[in-house]
Amino acid sequence: MSNELENKKRALMIAEAGVNLLKDTFRGSDISTILAPTTAVPRYINYPEPTPGTDASTYFSRNPLAPLEAMNVDFENLPQQIGTRTVNGFLTPAEGVPFGTGGRYWAKTTDNEDGDSDMTADTDKKIYLRVLGIQRNSGGQVSIYGGNVKNSIAIIEATFKRDRTFEMDTGFTIYGPDVVQSGSGIFGGDSFDMDGYDHAGWSTPAVLAAHTHASGTGSAGIEVLWDNPGGGDATVTKTTVYDALDPAQKPRVIGPESDYTGAGEPSLRDNTANLRNDPDPDAQNIFDPNYIANFINKVSQFADYSYPDGTELSGPSTVLGTETDPKITVAEGSLKLSGNGTGAGLLIIKGHFHFGGSYTYRGLVLVIGEGTLETVGSNKGIIGGLVVAKLVDNLDGTYSYGIPQVTVAGNANFYYSSDFSVATNGLPVKTIVWREITRGLEPAY
């Protein structure tokens, strides 16, 4: 009995180790590309399967192996296989991953019911991971299926979710009780473009070289946010932005949605109430400056590229990720980005962001910290989304929001794209639920 208990504990630790090792699999990968592939997993014994379409069948299908098979097969001396089982989302070799002496684990991902009726395609960035771990018991303990070994097993299921806080539906977002200029006026000239129509699938920098105003679905060209339900939310910020636009500049802000109507009016809206009522709880994270400060600091630990305060990057050699290999880039302070380089992924600037030259970027840009944005020069652009917000350190472990500073001048182009995967796939997933699966939880175990 003591040997059985010890091996059960070992199987549990092996399964837990597998979860921790495989959690990083999701970073840098689109969840659907993990769910879709199939693996032919050998089958060595006959075992009962729940009736297809039942709840028991749904839970059973999350297991990488049938628990009965995992318990009764000697994987160090395999018997003759009797067939195969086709499994989606298998993350380990079909024979499992050896772990220690007599230990082994298998892992499988499964989509949650996200409303699309397709278990091989993800739409809500939420996924299940099950890891089945075994520990081989001592020889001679039992004789079954031609072997002399019976395994102790443990199954752990973790529910992971990728953070969707910044998957906003606009290309240019200002968060704060108001906004002031960082340079000579909030807007300069009439050569900039703020296009809120959806540019999903459009390529950078080609879209900047031959851009025609999109049409169809999308959002506002400029979105303002401020969580103040008793004081009109972001009304002050919206009014400041509107008043800063002269008649020649207003047509440069376009999109299918706006709080203003009539010819020549800009596509500008206060989206605070919509976020407050969004069914995805991640949407409300933007209202919490402590959450955002923690998010920025945590993501900084996973940065592919990190630059100190006062960094200047210029020229074609400045490639901060590509569309096929996006990167997380963090500037710990101010960043001056210019020249004709390119980038893709997630770009975080904690200080003053001076965006010039003809640099183009696809993905998500967060000017959060000092909250200062200044664009100059020509033919620069972002396809995806940009958020500007000022975080104030209260020096007591908490943060609050201040007034951001913005100047958009020159030929600056901001094009919204709903394809946030190029930016968010690099983020680590967070664990929502972690549990051991037992026969008491799932009778179909």
Region 148-175 average pLDDT: 89
> What is the C-alpha to C-alpha distance for residues 174 and 182, in angstroms, rounded to an integer?
13
Among 123-132, 209-218, 326-335, the least confident range: 209-218
Residue 245 corresponds to which amino acid? L
Chain-centroid distance of CA 242 in Å reads 32
Q: Tokens representing 43?
A: 């089958």
pLDDT at res. 208: 61
Residue 413 corresponds to which amino acid? N
- What is the number of residues in the chain? 445
Q: pLDDT for 381-412, tens place per residue? A: 899 999 999 999 999 999 999 999 999 998 88
pLDDT at res. 139: 56
For residue 59, name the pLDDT band (cuts at 50, 70, 90): confident
Among 36-40, 204-208, 223-227, the least confident range: 204-208
- DSSP symbol at 144: B
Residue found under tokens 């990190």: 306
Sheet holding 97-98: strands in order across?
Answer: 97-98, 103-111, 126-136, 151-162, 429-437
Q: pLDDT for 217-241, tens place per residue? A: 889 999 999 999 989 999 999 999 9
Residues 6+ apart with CB under 8 A from 33: none
> What is the C-alpha to C-alpha distance for residues 322 and 304, in angstroms, rounded to an integer?
13
Q: pLDDT for 291-337, tens place per residue? A: 999 999 989 988 999 999 999 998 888 899 998 889 999 999 999 99
Distances (CA, A) of 129 to 81, 124, 426: 26, 15, 18
Give the angle 332-391-173 at the CA atoms, nearest 5°.
95
Residue 29 corresponds to which amino acid? S
Domain ranges of the chain: 2-163+429-437, 172-424
- DSSP symbol at 228: -
DSSP characters for 59-97?
HHTT-SS-HHHHHH--TTS-----EEEEEETB-S-TT-E
**pTM summary value:** 0.84
The answer to whether residues 97 and 82 touch, using CB atoms and an 8 Å cutoff, is no
H helices present in 23-66, as ranges: 31-35, 55-60
Residue 271 corresponds to which amino acid? N
pLDDT at res. 178: 97
Q: Is the pLDDT of residue 70 over 90?
A: yes
242 φ, ψ (degrees, to nearest 5): -60, -45
For residue 29, name the pLDDT band (cuts at 50, 70, 90): confident
For residue 2, name the pLDDT band (cuts at 50, 70, 90): confident
For residue 206, name the pLDDT band (cuts at 50, 70, 90): low
